[in-house]
Amino acid sequence: MPKHIVRLITLLVTLLAVAAIAKPFLTVDSFYRFGHYRADSVTEIADKELVYQTPRYCHGCHTERRAQWSAGSHKTVICEVCHGPAQGHPQNGKLAIPTDTVKLCTLCHEAMPGRPATQPQIQVAQHSGGQQCNVCHNPHSPKISTAAAKVTGNAAAGKDSAAACSGCHGADGNSPNDTWPNLAGQNAAYLARILAAYKSGDQNDAAMTPLAQALSDTEIQNLAAYYAGLNCKASTGGKPVGDAAAGEALAANCVACHGPAGRGSNPAWPKLAAQKPGYLVNVLKAFKAGLRKDPMMAGAAKSLSDTDIANLAAYYAAQSCQSTK
């Protein structure tokens, strides 16, 4: 073999040997441990810290919210979807409480082609008159139970039981007194629900509780049917202290449930038109103070000042309870 070829081969072999010997020194230890990659990088990636902490983390402290949330229809939406990731909370401060709930809620609930029919969806423009979602809906348990129980009472039988009520609520269901509510023409399902609540103790009133406890379920049904069938009259109480015009602006927030001018057609909720202003003021204050318990009304009354309450009462008292149609 020619000399120069031998030398070239020697040189090549030497270089290859150098490369082969140098490789282990230049290759990170964990490379090739499982394959053509650095095994340590798997551990590094696995050791990254969590940003989203899962509901279990939140529930360690927020037990009250948890109870509400886990019983409601939003139980599949974890805390961090709306409040943001909990990494660093509470050490680094509070998590955001969303302020623009319309923007937030419509991410999922705006009616849109492509959303499955099982998803509750709303036409944003027609749903709330621009008010925030959390005025009526509790974001942690948003479903409003609108299923009003059907009232099957006998109005004629109810009339006999109603004798005991007429002292306060008037012989024709129109209260002579500013602090007691008119019952005539009220929604039957609402009347039955409230009477049952007094009976069960869910709602308390010095006068009403013992009276309701004396009633049977049938009597409650009969009474509800009787009063719902009576004709309401325009409020005749003293001049309300509030400003009805200012109340009308506030009442825009109530329309969704109580209907235009308080003549709501949903039997689950009370009509407010021509109701006694003193009664309305008392009830709203009771909701605000938590004496009367209703998640929706608590939210709605929370932000009302005493003046707002007086104005709302004045507005509703001035409305006609007869449909204008």
Which residues bind to other proteins, rule: CB under 8 A?
7, 10-11, 14-15, 17-18, 21-22, 24-25, 29, 31-39, 41-43, 45-52, 54, 74, 76-78, 80-81, 84-85, 107-108, 110-116, 119
Residue type, 91: Q
CA gap 165, 144 in Å, rounded: 31
Q: How far is the CB of 292 from other proteins (least distance, A)?
A: 32
How far, in Å, CA of 298 to CA of 288, rounded? 6
Residue 114 or 325: the one with the smaller Cβ distance to other proteins is 114
Q: Quick one: 124 or 211, whose CB is closer to other proteins?
A: 124
11 vs 291, which CB is nearer to other proteins?
11
Min. distance of Cβ 19 from other proteins in angstroms?
A: 10
Distance (Å, rounded) from C-alpha 109 to C-alpha 119? 7
Does residue 149 sit in helix, strand or coil? Answer: coil
Please, which residue, 119 or 179, has the CB nearer to other proteins? 119
Please state the closest distance from residue 246 (CB atom) to other proteins, in A: 33
Peptide bond into 90 cis (omega under 30): yes
C-alpha 101/C-alpha 156 separation (Å) is: 48
Q: How far is the CB of 10 from other proteins (least distance, A)?
A: 6
β-strand partners of 110: 122
CB of 192 to other proteins, least distance (A): 35
- Taking the least distance from each CB to other proteins, the nearer of 84 and 229 is 84
Task: Give me the residues paired with residue 31 across strands.
Answer: 38
Nearer to other proteins, 93 or 113 (CB): 113
Minimum Å gap between C-beta 64 and other proteins is 22
Assigned token pair, 252: 């825009």
Nearer to other proteins, 88 or 210 (CB): 88
Q: Which is nearer to other proteins, 50 or 67 (CB)?
A: 50
DSSP SS3 for 279: helix
Contact call for residues 260 and 213 (beta carbons, < 8 A):
no
Residue 133 beta carbon to other proteins: minimum distance, rounded to whole angstroms: 15
What is the rounded distance in angstroms from the CA atom of residue 207 to the CA atom of residue 138?
31
Q: What 3-state DSSP class applies to 41?
A: helix
Residue type, 34: F
Instruction: Calculate the CA 243 to chain-centre distance.
Output: 30
Q: Is 77 exposed, middle or buried (0-12, 13-18, 19+ CB in 10 A)?
A: middle
Residue 23 CB, shortest distance to other proteins, in Å, is 9
Q: Closest separation between CB of residue 174 and other proteins, Å?
A: 47
Distance (Å, whole) CA 200 – CA 177: 26
* Tokens 């660093």 found at: 88
Q: Which is nearer to other proteins, 57 or 135 (CB)?
A: 57
β-bridge mates for residue 122, sequence order? 110
